[in-house]
Structure 1
Amino acid sequence: MKREKYVIIGGDAAGMTAAGQIRKLQPKSQIVVYERSPHTSYSACGMPYLIGGLVENDTKLIVRTPEEFMAKKNIEAFVFHEVLSVDIKARTLEVLNIQTGKLFTESFDSLLFATGAEPIRPPIEGIDGEGVFSLSVLQDGLRLQRFIEENNPQKAVIVGGGYIGLEMAEAFCRRGMNVSLVDRSFQVMNTFDIDMADHIADAIQHVGTSLYLGETLKAIEYNNNRIKAAITDQRNIPADIVILGLGVRPHSKLAKEAGLPLGVNDSILVNQMMETEIEDIWAAGDCAQTWHLVTNKPFWVALGSVANKTGRIAGINMAGGKEHFPGVVGTAVSKHCDLEVARTGLSEKELEDLDFHYETVTIKSKVQAGYYPGAGDIHVKMIAEVPGGRVLGAQIVGAHGAAKRIDVVATAISAQMTVRQLIDLDLGYAPPFSLPWDPIQIAARQLL
């Protein structure tokens, strides 16, 4: 069935990727995108590196502006436009022009929810005051950058030891700030097992960051409207600026209010074609549910890579195609100063709650030949199913060159390979890049 008018709610990775695919397959159809922030198609993942000075300016993070989408793709992308409600029966949206205050109704034949994720902000005293930031859209990063330039804060407190916390701690260290990191868990990076997370914690402290684990933020104290301290259940930490890295959740409220069923973690329920249970309505990106290839269960993850892939699938199918998104294995990478971290598949603590029998091994090796100048350490933890040896997961912590090795394991997991098959892979070797036995294969040999 040919659809004449496509409307997309959300103008970042999933939404604009979908729009591009629709345009390829439906060159004459009308495509309208509504984005409530000031920007379309940008790299939110690049914000910590903009703040840390590694990225020259914010324009480097913008892939394509609304004007470029119109000129090159004939896609109408409207920023500062928030969709307030969706009437499924009438096939209409109520849209607010944030700049003018004008309300209007938009019709659609086919609709995509690409509303992304929203940062978690618990009801804590002082959390909405000046100098407290969450990072979600590019505008958040620009506000943070402006605050730093105007106020020159010297003491930063980061709440949350996940990916954003790790990356923002590095950004502030690069700026020469006094950095404290607080997490209510007794480890950083909760997607890692604690034995691997301990290596990350050591690296954080090695660069001078104060680490407070097992502590919960209770309030933010002010003096003359300027932050004075972050107050945990155990101490007061002096602060000029506070970053909340407490995780994100699907921005699915609009879809729920429209009557769409929700799935895991309140993400929008979709099938592998990114279709919701309502005909001609789709969802993709951080707001949508996906599938975990190891557990064979519904899964939700907020990652730019997944958003782009699911947006592509949604766009193709909205335009009449028949593509399927198979799912994910939970691959993620990050870094803190000189330390790289990566994980894929399932961790040991995740497996403890599932009906798997497994074995684990952890090895220490070098990212390059030991005699090559600057060869750094790498720690690899690998998990395999017993019996059979199917690879279930891996975690990597190490020097430059460590993290992207996780892609080999992610491929092995996706292909349901065993550790024996992983050992036999013909991986590249030269002293500047690896050892004759790559650390991934050393771990596989230990497991075998």
Structure 2
Amino acid sequence: MGPARTAGHARPIGHTEGRGAVSAARRMVVVGGDAAGMSAAAQARRLLSADELEIIAFERGDDTSYSACGIPYWVAGDVEERDDLVARSPEEHRRRGLDVRTRTEVIALDPDRSRVRTRDAGGTEEWHGYDDLVIATGATPLRPPIPGIDAEGVYGVQDLADGEALRKAVSRLAPDGPGGEGGAGSPPRAVVIGAGYIGIEMAEAMVRRGFRVTLVDRAPEPMTTLDPDMGTLVREAMNAMGIETVMGRAVTEIETGEDGAVRAVRTADSRHPADLVVLGLGTSPRTALAEAAGLPLGESGGLLTDRAMQVRGHRHIWAGGDCVEVEHRLTGMTRHIPLGTHANKHGQIIGSNIAGEYATFPGVVGTAVSKVCELEIARSGLLEAEATEAGLQYVTVTVEATSRAGYYPGARPMHVKMLAERRTGRLLGAQIVGREVAAKRVDVVATALTAGMTVTDIVMLDLGYAPPFSPTYDPVQVAARKAAAAVRAAG
């Protein structure tokens, strides 16, 4: 199904409901004021005037178009001010012709009558009709029912309000402030629950603010977005940084004192004192409204769309960002991969299509990068388990190379693991763990995956070389050369 041709769409019943007079313009309603939603609204406004398209965006919080990905670096002190993380405030959007209504939550969707129901901060509820609806509700942080998880001193990092609360707590407990459980002058203790991207980034933030850090996760190795052998490298590096890693242990309780504040985190066989606890357990698509409205969801609970970002089977409903599942280009399967890069692209595509142009989202190859202190971590393509699930036969190789020519000052070791399809040699994925300029080398991998290149093709790429930047063969090419040999040996 292609993008909707909205010019001939009949004005829905109830279009005049809600505040304001009847408008002759078509109406676009956006649910969610962050990356996908506001990108869609801004793109549609660039292409159509207010006389042609009325745009209303509902956001239940105070902020729009902010970088949740930047919160760990704000807490760490790399980013100074809260507003530095805001790309465009509600007022800035309003000056550009968008009707942005903050502190207004959408509480129901009614696709049959093309309308949404909202509740504002004062408790007033209204129905608002639409010609096109954009669902950009984002994701919900996982918060399992652990005893004590709602105690004072337990922090999430989903939005700017979360980040602000955590930053204040960190500043109060930091070494130049009151001491932690160990007494005045001793390093305060932070326990981070969850060893994914947010978990390791928050562990870094706590280390840099002078905390003694413990990272707890039920998985056997950190970073389940890597194969376990590469996750081991991450764990060993974090241990060398002074971060205690407690792996393969599920949290059973967050212990509190008589004052109700956090004191420790417990597993089945251990207790870890804590002055504060940070939750980094990942997210799930925020799609309860969509589910209640009967919209189609995938295995992870994310909305299912076509390539034009229209919700499947619903001609004038669109969805993008962390609330949708995206197609993986290597397998054709849909996955929930919440990233700001995808969300902004989804918004651009939705806004263009609503404005009568044509745009599609081709899918993803699963690229992501992160860091913990000096250690850089990257992946693109498939892990071994994902390749097996897709029914692919493959070979794997792991190499250790250096970031620069070995004789050049500052050369640092880098591990690259690569998967290639048996017989064809088609690249299936790669993971990189190293220091200094390691992570962004994954962009070569992402480009090669998108182009359907073989590992032999990668070996012969004309990449830039000079001793300060790379060995004669870049580490990605070293891995590709070894993978090509493994493909030949496999027959």
> CA contact under 8 A between 2:170 and 2:209: conserved in structure 1?
no
Distance 1:305 1:105 in 2: 32
Q: Is 1:368 matched with 2:404?
A: yes
User: What is the CA–CA distance in structure 2 between the aligned matches of 1:434 and 1:27, rounded to whole Å?
Assistant: 50
1:52 corresponds to which residue?
Answer: 76
Question: Equivalent residue for 1:62?
Answer: 86
Q: Distance in 1 between matches of 2:365 and 2:386?
A: 13
The CA deviation at 1:151 is 4.9
Aligned mates of 2:305, 2:388 — CA distance in 1: 28
1:242 corresponds to: 277
Structure 2 residue runs without a partner (length 5+): 1-5, 8-24, 175-179, 181-187, 485-491
Alignment of 1:67-146 (within 5 A): 67-71=91-95, 73-98=96-121, 100-146=122-168
2:310 corresponds to 1:269: no
Q: Does the 8 Å contact 1:10/1:116 carry over to 2?
A: yes
What TM-score does the superposition give when structure 1 sets the normalisation length?
A: 0.97
By how many angstroms is 1:258 displaced? 1.4
CA distance in 1, matches of 2:334, 2:87: 31
Residue 398 of structure 1: CA displacement?
A: 0.4
| Cα distance in structure 1, aligned partners of 2:64 and 2:455 | 43
Equivalent residue letter for 1:352? T
Q: Check whether the contact 1:37–1:137 (CA below 8 A) recurs between aligned residues.
A: no
> Whole-Å Cα distance in 1 between the matches of residues 467 and 84 of structure 2?
34
Structure ID, larger Rg: 2
Paired residue type of 1:36: R
CA distance in 1, matches of 2:217, 2:463: 38
Distance in 2 between the 1:202 and 1:395 partners? 16
In the alignment, the residues of structure 1 paired with residue 130 and residue 169 of structure 2 have an alpha-carbon distance, to the nearest angstrom, of 40
CA contact (8 A) 1:313 1:323 kept: yes
Instruction: State how far apart, in whole Å, the 2-side matches of 1:34 and 1:47 are.
Output: 23
Query: 1:272, 1:290 within 8 Å by CA — same for their partners in 2?
Result: no
Aligned equivalents of 1:293 and 1:135: distance in 2? Answer: 30
Q: What are the equivalent positions in structure 2 for 1:163-174 lying under 5 Å apart?
A: 163-174=197-208
The residue type equivalent to 2:207 in the other structure is C
Equivalent AA in structure 1 for residue 37 of structure 2: G
State the secondary structure of the residue aligned to 1:89: helix
- Establish whether residue 219 from structure 1 lines up as the match of residue 253 from structure 2: yes
* CA drift at 1:354: 2.8
SS in 2 for 1:265: coil
Unaligned runs of 5+ in 1: none
Give the drift of 1:80.
Answer: 1.2
Distance 2:290 2:364 in 1: 23
The amino acid that maps onto 1:233 is A
Cα distance in 1 between the residues matched to 2:155 and 2:109 = 30
CA distance in 2, matches of 1:356, 1:93: 44
How many angstroms apart in 1 are the aligned matches of 2:468 and 2:98?
A: 46
Q: In the alignment, residue 273 of structure 1 is paired with which amino acid?
A: A
- Checking the alignment, whether the CA contact within 8 Å between 1:343 and 1:395 is kept in structure 2 is yes
Cα RMSD between the aligned structures?
1.2
Aligned residues of 1:381 and 1:443 also touching (Cα < 8 A): yes
**Displacement after TM superposition at 1:349 (Å):** 2.4
Aligned-partner residue type, residue 63 of structure 2: H
Give 3-state SS (helix, strand or coil) of 1:372's partner: coil
The reply on whether 1:158 has 2:180 as its aligned counterpart is no
Cα distance in 2 for partners of 1:81, 1:253 equals 17
Paired-residue identity, %: 46
Q: Deviations 1:300-358 (Å, cap 9, x if unpaired)?
A: 21111111111111111122222111100110000010000000100112223331111
Alignment of 1:276-287 (within 5 A): 276=311, 277-287=313-323
Cα distance in 2, alignment partners of residues 137 and 221 from structure 1 = 25
Q: Secondary structure at the match of 2:300?
A: helix
- SS at 1:324's partner residue? coil
Map of 1:337 onto structure 2: 373
Q: TM-score, normalised by structure 2?
A: 0.89
- Which one-letter code corresponds to 1:433 in the other structure? F
Instruction: Note if contact 1:423-1:444 (Cα within 8 Å) is conserved in structure 2.
Output: yes
Match of 2:13 in 1: none
Counterpart pick for 2:473 among 437, 442, 446: 437
Q: Using the alignment, how far apart are the partners of 2:166 and 2:62 within structure 1?
A: 15
Instruction: State the alpha-carbon separation in 2 of the partners of residues 142 and 352 from structure 1.
Output: 42
How many angstroms does 1:371 deviate by? 2.0
Alignment partner, residue 395 of structure 1: 431
Residue 148 (structure 1) aligned with residue 170 (structure 2) = yes
CA contact (8 A) 2:156 2:280 kept: yes
Q: Which region of structure 1 is more displaced relative to structure 2, 37-46 or 131-140?
A: 131-140
Q: Amino acid of the residue matched to residue 226 of structure 2?
A: F
* Pair 1:13-2:35 in alignment: yes
The CA distance in 1 between the partners of 2:464 and 2:109, in whole Å, is: 52
Provide Cα deviations, 1:88-145, integer angstroms capped at 9, x if missing partner.
12222111112x2222222211100000001011111111111111211122111211
Instruction: Please give the alpha-carbon distance, in whole angstroms, between the structure 1 residues aligned to 2:403 and 2:100.
Output: 45
Q: Is the 8 A contact 1:389 1:420 kept in 2?
A: yes
CA shift for structure 1 position 76 = 1.4
Moved more, 18-27 or 110-119: 18-27
Between the aligned partners of 1:262 and 1:197, the Cα distance in structure 2 is 31
Question: SS of the residue aligned with 1:417?
Answer: coil
- The aligned length equals 446
| Structure-to-structure mapping, 1:412-423, within 5 angstroms | 412-423=448-459
Provide the rounded CA distance (Å) in 1 between the counterparts of 2:172 and 2:241.
26
SS of structure 2 residue aligned to 1:314: helix
- Is the CA contact 1:38–1:79 (under 8 Å) kept in the aligned structure 2? yes
8 A Cα contact 1:157 1:242, kept in partner: yes
Question: SS of 1:352's equivalent?
Answer: helix
Q: Please show how residues 24-63 of structure 1 align to structure 2 within 5 Å.
A: 24-28=46-50, 29-63=53-87
